[in-house]
Amino acid sequence: MTARLSLFGNPTGTAAKAAAHFGTASKTILSESGLPAATQRLVLLRVSQINGDGYATDVWAKNAAAAGESATRINLVAAWRESTVFTDAERAALALAEDGTRIADAAGGVDDEVWAGAAQHHDQDQLSDLVMLIALINATNRMSVIVRQQGGDYEPGRLG
């Protein structure tokens, strides 16, 4: 399977300009948030896995490894509920990420208990950053899945 098209194929095109804004917004959160970087990477990886985005899963798994994340934690993020290697704060962020990603699967959206758990471990700024990060990665995952962007060739650090 090959990618259907490159959203960046025409650097002056509307899609490339809009995608660049997504990238800028994501980089702002990744570099300026008070949310721990490890939590951010775990959330980005888990949402990408749920959405079936091979490219983003490749990116965030490799970036996590390059940042010093253990292979055990990277490999277990898909089964974080059944694992002992994540902190309570990370688990709360992952639960919020899953509920926020699976909105269409749950008529009520994000469960109140999940929100309360996230709020117990993260302040208002961190919660705001989590919401933005979850929304942005969901949008970028969808773009990637629609055009069939392939994973496997990413070199760590290229995207942050």
Residue 157 lies in a domain: no
Query: What is the pLDDT at residue 55?
Result: 94
The neighbour count for residue 73, using CB atoms within 10 Å, is 19
Query: Rounded to an integer, what distance in angstroms lies between the CA atom of residue 133 and that of residue 139?
Result: 10
Residue 96 lies in a domain: yes
Residue 7 lies in a domain: no
Query: What is the pLDDT at residue 159?
Result: 62
112-119 long-range contacts (CB < 8 A, ≥24 apart) are 117/91, 117/92, 118/92, 118/93
Digit-coded pLDDT (tens) for 74-126: 999 999 999 999 999 999 999 999 999 998 876 678 999 999 999 999 999 99
CATH of the domain at 84: 1.20.1290.10
Count structural domains, the chain: 1
- The DSSP 8-state label assigned to residue 78 in this structure reads G
Query: What is the pLDDT at residue 81?
Result: 97
Residue 85 lies in a domain: yes
Is the CB of residue 100 less than 8 Å from the CB of residue 138? Answer: yes
Residue 72 lies in a domain: yes
The neighbour count for residue 4, using CB atoms within 10 Å, is 9
Q: Which domain holds residue 51?
A: 35-147
Helix pair 37-50, 14-32: axis angle to 10 deg:
140
Digit-coded pLDDT (tens) for 4-52: 887 777 788 898 889 889 889 999 999 999 999 999 999 999 999 999 9
Residue 95 lies in a domain: yes
Q: 50: exposed, middle or buried (C-beta count within 10 Å: 0-12, 13-18, 19+)?
A: middle
Residue 135 lies in a domain: yes
Residue 105 lies in a domain: yes
Distances (CA, A) of 134 to 6, 26, 69, 138: 23, 10, 20, 6
